Structure 1
Amino acid sequence: MKRLRYENGDIDRVDEKILAELTANARITMAELARRIGLSAPSAAERMRRLEEAGVITGYGARVSMPALGLPVSAWLRIRPIPGELQRVAEILKAIPEISECDRVTGDDCFLARAHLASIGDLERIIDMIIPHAMTNTSIIQSSPVAQRLPRIPAGEDE
């Protein structure tokens, strides 16, 4: 598989450092980012601009505590639509605001969705919206020993 290339070549170690720093803290100042990666602020800003233009950096955001928002129950739902209901199930999932992310996946199930809820009763309500059109298997999240993070980026061919 080819590595992503952008205007000035492959993603290099400096780009990886930029991505790691932004993943850890998207609000880092340009001066602090430049200091941490060993570049001047204008050079760091130019690197970020190129990563944005190449579609490597697609946005910036905040990490939000769901329990602090009154949503202490999180669950993964594995969803297998009944024949002919795939598109309808996708639309139902899009319309449920408690579902924060959903992927279409390979294997026995077609969708893997993450929901954040105020109660188990809310989870039951969500499942009841889906089950006329699909089978579900639900796992309540107890904890997350690995927080969302940037995966290891494969080394380039010339390294």
Structure 2
Amino acid sequence: MAVDVLDTRILRLLIEQPRTSVREYARVLGVARGTLQARLDRLERDGVITGTGPSLSPAALGHPVLAFVHLEVTQGHLDEVGAALAAVPQIIEVFSTTGGGDLLTRVVARDNSHLEDVIQQLIQLPGVVRTRTEVALRERVPHRVLPLVEAVGRAADGPGRPASGMLGT
């Protein structure tokens, strides 16, 4: 889907000021409220905006340990294992991957002992052959999309403007 300069400005405001009203966004952007609402509706319909809820901190919820657990799955059992993983509350994301494992999970835990218990639970799931765990020590770059939004906006603004960061990709 094509994102233009106004879409980019809207997305930036949504990221930087998520609790602002549509009326205030329209005022800041200098567009009619109806125009803004139509843009928001289109961005949601096209899957650019995927949610409007708050970001929650697992650490603040008593689960400060973060680990990435790779799972090797018996061939043909990805869907079955994926459904079983969805039932484990400490698993906050699961991705199918290429490489050394079939699934990559993001797991949170109260402490290392709790993490071990969760991993043992994963190993017992039908279809899981083995796991490999990497514990995160510190977040170096928090989840972000604003730099991508800005790069897309620069590309939409016209030729001759760089559409990427310092890596040139």
* Fold-level similarity (TM above 0.5): yes
Question: 1:69-96 CA deviation, whole Å, 9 max, x = no partner?
Answer: 1111111111112445434432331221
User: Paired residue for 1:115?
Assistant: 107
Equivalent pair of 1:75/1:116 in contact (CA under 8 Å): yes
Q: Aligned Cα RMSD in Å?
A: 2.3
- 1:25-51: per-residue Cα shift (whole Å, max 9, x none)? 432222332244342333222211222
Amino acid at match of 2:29: I
- Map 1:27-42 onto structure 2 (within 5 A): 27-42=19-34
Unpaired segments ≥5 residues, structure 2: 160-169
Counterpart CA distance in 2 for 1:128 and 1:84 is 22
For 2:89, the equivalent position in structure 1 comes to 97
Q: Note if contact 1:73-1:117 (Cα within 8 Å) is conserved in structure 2.
A: yes
Structure 1 unpaired stretches of 5+: 5-9
**How much identity, in percent, do the aligned residues show?**
33
Aligned residues: 151
Q: How many Å separate the matches in 2 of 1:37 and 1:144?
A: 33
Distance 1:11 1:123, change over 3 A: same
Change (3 A) 1:86 1:50: closer
Distance 1:111 1:13, change over 3 A: same
The CA deviation string for residues 78-118 of structure 1, in whole angstroms up to 9 with x for no partner, is: 11124454344323312211101111111121111111111
Q: TM-score, normalised by structure 1?
A: 0.80
The answer to whether the 8 Å contact 1:78/1:111 transfers is yes
